[in-house]
Amino acid sequence: MFFHALILRQKYKKCYYFCILLHIMKKLLLFIGLGILLQACAREMIPSGGPMDNKPPEIIRELPGNRTLSFQDQTIRIFFDEYINLNNPNTNIIFSPPLSTLPTYTISGRSLIIRFNEPLIPDKTYNVAFTNAVKDYNEGNILPFYQYTFSTGTSIDSFMIDGFLYNAETLEPEKDIYVFLYGEDIDSLPYSTSPTYITRSQQNGYFSFRHISRGDYKVFALNDINNNLRYDLPNESIAFSDTMVKAHVIQVKDTSAVQTDTVGRNRENGDTLVRHNPVKLWLFTPVDTVQRLEKPAMIRPGAYRISFKLPFSQISTKFLRPDTIPSHMETVNNTRDTVTWYFKSRITDTVTLELTVDNHGPDTVHFMPGRFQPQRGGRGARRTEETEKLSIRTLNGGELHKPFTLTFSYPVLPVDSFAMVIIQNRRSGNDTVTRYYSVPDTFVTSLPLIFPLEERVPYILKIKDSVFYGYDGATHDSLTFRFTSKSEKDYGNLTIDIEVDERMPYIVQLLSPDNKVIRTNFISSNSTLSYMHLPPGNYRIKIIEDRNGNGKWDTGNYRKKIQPEKVIFPQKTFTVRGYWDMEETLNIHEQENIRTGSRR
């Protein structure tokens, strides 16, 4: 019994010590947790939760203050009403005049610190433009255009230049494009010299240079692809003023009444700026005159395609080998930058030809025989039943004034005669008729099938399988087409008497309600344009001043000081109604331009 009691005592003694150790560890963990919590409470944390914030950050203080004179600091600190993030500050924060060395940007709490890494020019006014550079931390709301100004001298320059930047061809506003000012009228400046002042265009194309010195300036816009403030790449889009632009004194309007305009309010310390004939620039991409062609590609058995870097006007083909020219068809796409050759039979030997495009070339091209490898399915993919099929689409289903047309993805073989079953689904019953057509003995990619249509009648058209064969042996399954014919009430007619400057040739394009070009006319005098059988809708006119009379819009050339050809989108729209003849007049010199708000 004695020994048994001793053993129990030793056993409970160990449990006692274990409980004491466990209690000490719990106390220690509690103290560590409280320390972490207190440390977290002592730090500034980004708040979370609550309703969605739709407001951009607001500036509550600047240090030194905006428009400080005799600026001697190495840093600028801007305080916001909430926590912020920076969005590509090296691009979206613009110093004018430009700095040689980029500053350092730091976020501290709710403030942005800008530290200069170079000495500033004495007696100079600096502008710091923020364009999409600052956004709030949680929702990403972007601070609108904001400008901070200071002077290292005893005064701040009080002149400004502003304007709008548009795409020269579409007249849509161009945003986030650099705009430069040069104090001299020297053509080589954009190639070799940093601008005197710099800014960027806003969402609506508006740009402004504020607090610049008195003088005349060359204005130049650049889509600076390599961000070196130089016009040195052939694919960089540019715009330039024809003459030097005089800076005007900054003035403000009386803001006791609400002021609105096409760009909203452009404010200077809370006041609305007065505009003095804003500059208008037209951004264009110069033509790359170096024509290049790609290696020929077999797109189907017996079909080869070559793409060119630039569109062309004329192309000539001379077969060099074999001696006997194989039967073929040559087609050019709508944009005139791709040529396709279809051969009536698969070539078994290399075909060599010589191509001359406009004034470029000649270039020697080789069409190699070989097994066709379809693109679908990746490398080594087997030809599937889908890739063997001849693709057939339809045009003008149900149109009263255009023939129902089949279009083939590949030229088809001649067909002496084939049947198309035409079923009219009248309320009184179906009326079925069979009509016969043929494919002529030529390369055919489009086949009109003309037959009379009754108005407002559902039609079903049927053609049996394997009627059409491509030259590669591809054919099709049975074809069924369904549509309901239109009536004359589905069409309207539009006639426009247009007055132009008879010293200039013009290209006049009718634009559909979805902004597609549906008719093109070339005129050089006052004319009457008739547009028949149009679907109801709102139509507009696009007018191009075709200075060189080549029948197309031409871009500009800075080296030759050639501006792009002018484009006009008159404000006037033409509402076409069904079963209605509409007559309108248009004098382009009296029309407001719908894209730029100016008279042309």
Categorize the per-residue pLDDT at 17 as very low, low, confident or very high, splitting at 50, 70 and 90.
Answer: low
Is the pLDDT confidence value at 256 over 50?
no
**Dist CA 421 CA 430 (whole Å):** 12
- Please give the pLDDT value at position 264: 37
pLDDT one-digit tens code per residue, 448-501: 999 999 999 999 999 999 999 987 788 999 999 999 999 999 999 999 999 998
- Please give the pLDDT value at position 20: 58
Is the pLDDT confidence value at 29 over 90?
no
The encoded tokens of residue 356 equal: 């001359």
pLDDT one-digit tens code per residue, 527-538: 999 999 999 999
Is the pLDDT confidence value at 254 over 60?
no
- Please give the pLDDT value at position 39: 53
Is the pLDDT confidence value at 383 over 90?
no
E-strand spans in 152-247?
Answer: 159-167, 178-182, 197-200, 206-212, 216-222, 238-240, 245-246
- Please give the pLDDT value at position 384: 41
Is the pLDDT confidence value at 517 over 60?
yes
Token match 């073929």: residue? 328
pLDDT one-digit tens code per residue, 95-148: 999 998 999 999 999 999 999 999 999 999 999 989 889 999 888 898 888 889
Q: Please report, as a single letter, which amino acid is at residue 430.
A: N
- Please give the pLDDT value at position 22: 55
Cβ contacts of 142 within 8 Å, gap of 6 or more:
56, 87, 132, 134, 135
- Please give the pLDDT value at position 27: 58
Q: Which residue has the higher pLDDT, 435 or 256?
A: 435
Is the pLDDT confidence value at 43 over 60?
no
Q: What percent of the chain has pLDDT over 90?
A: 57
- Please give the pLDDT value at position 599: 58
Closest CA to 268 of 256, 251, 291: 251
**Dist CA 239 CA 558 (whole Å):** 8
Closest CA to 336 of 311, 317, 361, 305: 311
- Please give the pLDDT value at position 558: 95
Q: What percent of the chain has pLDDT over 70?
A: 84
Give the pLDDT mean for 218-230.
Answer: 92
Average pLDDT, the chain: 85
- Please give the pLDDT value at position 270: 54
Categorize the per-residue pLDDT at 414 as very low, low, confident or very high, splitting at 50, 70 and 90.
Answer: very high
Give the pLDDT mean for 519-523.
Answer: 96
